[in-house]
Amino acid sequence: MKMGEMLYEGKAKKIFKTDKENEVIVYYKDDATAFNGLKKGTIINKGIMNNKITNFFFDLLGKQGIPHHIIKELSDREVLVKKVQIIPIEVVTRNIVAGSLSKNLGIPEGEKLASTVVELYYKNDEVGDPPINYYHAKAMKLATQEQIDTMEKYALKINEILSAYLAERGILLVDFKLEFGLYEGQVILADEITPDTCRLWDSKTMEKMDKDRFRRDLGNVEEAYQEVLKRLIG
């Protein structure tokens, strides 16, 4: 697969053209950011680990009926994917109180929610990715009601699948962010599922195993990512 010119560079990935119009190559970087890019750093080999973790999760989900954009892994840092039109809505699913939910609602971090919460955020760094609801999404023409319903349905199914899988490996799925895209008119899972986009806690010690270690200067960030990969793949 021939890599062409770079189409886009984000906080954690670069996107490159290929010789096929409907396929692109994603390259995972080691760059780490937090607080909408205000905090920046590097996590050694993060790109390699996140590529492998995402490919593993997407393969697992694909086998259980979740359509996604990954075609095949090309190298430690590169993956061939379907070229999707990203829907500018981040779908956040929460099982345990943490982060902004604790801060905004005054609920202690670590409290298990009585039921799963699904939130929508407008994917726009310039305005800080603010929370939105169905009315905003439709009024701003970000997505149709049918597309929003599909994303929510997939998010809840993904939560069930990953929560069960991770629990068997001693990891709590606290919350996670998903992005979806349109491919040939169909809503499919895109972007990544990694310790960058999930809160993952050790189920016995409640030790954080995700990017919160970078956000909060807890140290041992690389080791936490390595431990997640080890428990997933061995």
Do 40 and 98 lie in one domain? The reply is no
Note the pLDDT of residue 155.
98
**Residue 192 banded pLDDT, cuts 50, 70, 90:** very high
Mean pLDDT (whole number) for 213-217: 95
Domain that holds residue 104: 85-222
Residue 138 covered by a domain: yes
Do 102 and 193 lie in one domain? The reply is yes
Do 103 and 214 lie in one domain? The reply is yes
Note the pLDDT of residue 4.
87
Nearest to 113 by CA among 90, 137, 129, 93: 93
Note the pLDDT of residue 199.
98
**Residue 36 banded pLDDT, cuts 50, 70, 90:** confident
Do 74 and 102 lie in one domain? The reply is no
Burial bucket for residue 94 (CB in 10 Å: 0-12, 13-18, 19+): buried
Do 73 and 148 lie in one domain? The reply is no
Residue 175 covered by a domain: yes
Do 90 and 127 lie in one domain? The reply is yes
Do 56 and 98 lie in one domain? The reply is no
Tokens of 220: 């041992």
Q: Final residue of a domain: which of 62, 82, 102?
A: 82
Mean pLDDT (whole number) for 130-139: 97
Residue 153 has pLDDT above 90, yes or no: yes
Nearest-angstrom CA–CA distance, 100 and 127: 16
Could you tell me the pTM of the whole model? 0.95
Residue 195 has pLDDT above 70, yes or no: yes
Residue 12 covered by a domain: yes
Mean pLDDT (whole number) for 210-214: 96
Domain count within the chain: 2
DSSP 30: -
Q: Where are the beta strands (DSSP E) in 18-159?
A: 23-28, 31-34, 39-42, 70-73, 78-82, 85-86, 89-96, 112-122, 131-132
Do 111 and 212 lie in one domain? The reply is yes
CA dist list (Å): 122 to 87, 138, 152 = 10, 12, 15
Q: Final residue of a domain: which of 82, 106, 141?
A: 82
Do 211 and 192 lie in one domain? The reply is yes
Do 97 and 205 lie in one domain? The reply is yes
CATH code where residue 60 lies: 3.30.200.20
Do 213 and 104 lie in one domain? The reply is yes
Note the pLDDT of residue 35.
81
Mean pLDDT of the chain: 96
Note the pLDDT of residue 3.
82
Nearest-angstrom CA–CA distance, 114 and 78: 39
Q: Final residue of a domain: which of 65, 82, 99?
A: 82
pLDDT digits (tens, 9 = 90+) for 53-101: 999 999 999 999 999 999 999 999 999 999 999 999 999 999 999 999 9
CA dist list (Å): 225 to 102, 107, 127, 171, 186 = 24, 27, 29, 12, 32
Residue 195 covered by a domain: yes
Note the pLDDT of residue 9.
94
Residue 125 has pLDDT above 80, yes or no: yes
Note the pLDDT of residue 121.
98
Do 48 and 141 lie in one domain? The reply is no
**Residue 1 banded pLDDT, cuts 50, 70, 90:** low
β-bridge mates for residue 179, sequence order = 190
Nearest-angstrom CA–CA distance, 28 and 51: 6
